Amino acid sequence: MAGAGISTPSGIPDFRSPGSGFYDNLQQYDLPYAEAIFEIEFFHRNPNPFFALAKELYPGNYQPNLTHYFVSLLHKKGQLLRMYTQNIDGLERLAGVPPEMLVEAHGTFATATCTSCLRKYDGEDLRPEVMSGKVPQCPTCKGVVKPDIVFFGEELPRHFFKYLADFPLADLLIIMGTSLEVEPFASLAGAVRSSVPRLLINRDLVGPFVWGQRTNDVVQLGDVVGGIKTLVDALGWTPELEALMAAGNQKPQDREEGWDDINY
Ligand code: OAD
């Protein structure tokens, strides 16, 4: 299970870290409260703040880091049952985790839907408008086309419910870079069998690691990259991970700007 904390080493802010988190940096939008940027009712009234964020997060702007490649390595070794991610940055796919191994619980920019006529689009169809700071319009009905990101007030994708089959089969649950504040995702942490070890790699203690630790729980507090490096070293996988990253990093980088260059 993963959240925004696995992508901060790639340069993308998380949501709730005080000061640096996305929700502390939305003052210019005069939002009633920070989460409104992901609320479907607010989006229907004013889609502009969301599309400023979408422009930044659109696939191609950022590169995966060691954490994403670790998940990819788990898959290559036949050890990954599934990755449940809350992230919408697409970095798991870029690191080589196949889409069928991923449950992108809060959706993806890979596809989009017209909010009026429900026509489906490929995320790439929207790229020119999103990148030029426009709100994408449906060529058919002129409705607003919204990337298939799950907003507060919307249902999670149907494949989220794969957890009902997956979690009872797991023999280890790794939880990385998430505050476990958002339901129903957060409750997945309790969906593994009670004898199954749960490993939290995060800057701080979160969710059941605060209020409901189990005897087999293990916590590695600190930076997620450092925590994963320690784990990978202990497994003797460091050379393979480095090779995987080196191969991935040879892919062309489309963009060199950072978050600081965002132009609202
Ligand atoms: P949060 O911002 O709530 O939590 C990120 C967690 O990662 C925090 O516990 C941080 O301390 C930790 N963290 C950040 N950087 C780290 C690092 N380098 N190493 C270790 N830990 C680090 O993000 P999420 O839990 O992903 O919803 O938030 C869940 C959902 O809330 C998001 O999916 C988003 C938001 O509203 C939607 O997009 C619909």
What tens digit of pLDDT does each residue of 200-224 get?
999 999 999 999 999 999 999 999 9
User: Rounded to a whole number, what is the largest CA-CA distance in the chain?
Assistant: 57
Is 179 marked as a binding-site residue? yes
**Cα-Cα-Cα-Cα dihedral of 250, 99, 90, 5, to 10°?**
-100
Percent of the chain predicted with pLDDT > 70: 95
Comparing 31 with 197, which gets the higher pLDDT? Answer: 197
The count of C-alpha atoms lying within 13 angstroms of the C-alpha of 83, restricted to the half-sphere facing its C-beta, is 32
Domain boundaries 4-19+38-247, CATH class:
alpha beta
What one-letter code names the amino acid at 92? E
Domain ranges, ordered by start, for the chain: 4-19+38-247
Mutate which of 203, 206, 224, 230 for ligand 1? The one with the most ligand atoms within 8 Å of its CB, which is 203
**Residue 5 in contact with ligand 1 by CB distance below 6 A:** yes
Contact 78, 134 (CB under 8 A): no
Q: Token digits for 103?
A: 């449950």
Any idea which residues carry the catalytic annotation? Answer: 106
- The answer on pLDDT for 12 being more than 70 is yes
The C-alpha atoms of residue 50 and residue 43 are separated, in whole angstroms, by: 7
Outline where DSSP puts E strands in 115-170.
120-122, 145-149
Mutate which of 50, 84, 182 for ligand 1? The one with the most ligand atoms within 8 Å of its CB, which is 182
**Residue 55 in contact with ligand 1 by CB distance below 6 A:** no
- Note the helical H segments in 12-100: 40-45, 48-57, 66-76, 91-94
**Residue 38 in contact with ligand 1 by CB distance below 6 A:** yes
Closest Cα partner for 69 from 259, 261, 256, 239? Answer: 239
The C-alpha atoms of residue 64 and residue 245 are separated, in whole angstroms, by: 9
β partners of residue 112: 121, 147
Q: Which atom of ligand 1 is nearest to the CA of 150?
A: 39
The C-alpha atoms of residue 84 and residue 104 are separated, in whole angstroms, by: 6
Contact 35, 85 (CB under 8 A): no
25 Cα–ligand 1 center, Å: 15
Q: Token digits for 59?
A: 């696939």
The count of C-alpha atoms lying within 13 angstroms of the C-alpha of 112, restricted to the half-sphere facing its C-beta, is 24
The C-alpha atoms of residue 3 and residue 9 are separated, in whole angstroms, by: 12
Q: In what order do the strands lie in the sheet with 107-114?
A: 120-122, 107-114, 145-149
- Where does residue 153 rank: exposed (0-12), middle (13-18), buried (19+ CB within 10 A)? exposed
- The answer on pLDDT for 258 being more than 50 is no
pTM (two decimals): 0.92
Q: Which atom of ligand 1 is nearest to the CA of 185?
A: 29
Overall average pLDDT of the 189-200 stretch = 98
What tens digit of pLDDT does each residue of 50-86 get?
998 898 888 888 999 999 999 999 999 999 999 999 9
**Residue 107 in contact with ligand 1 by CB distance below 6 A:** no
Q: Are strands 173-176 and 198-202 parallel, antiparallel or unpaired?
A: parallel
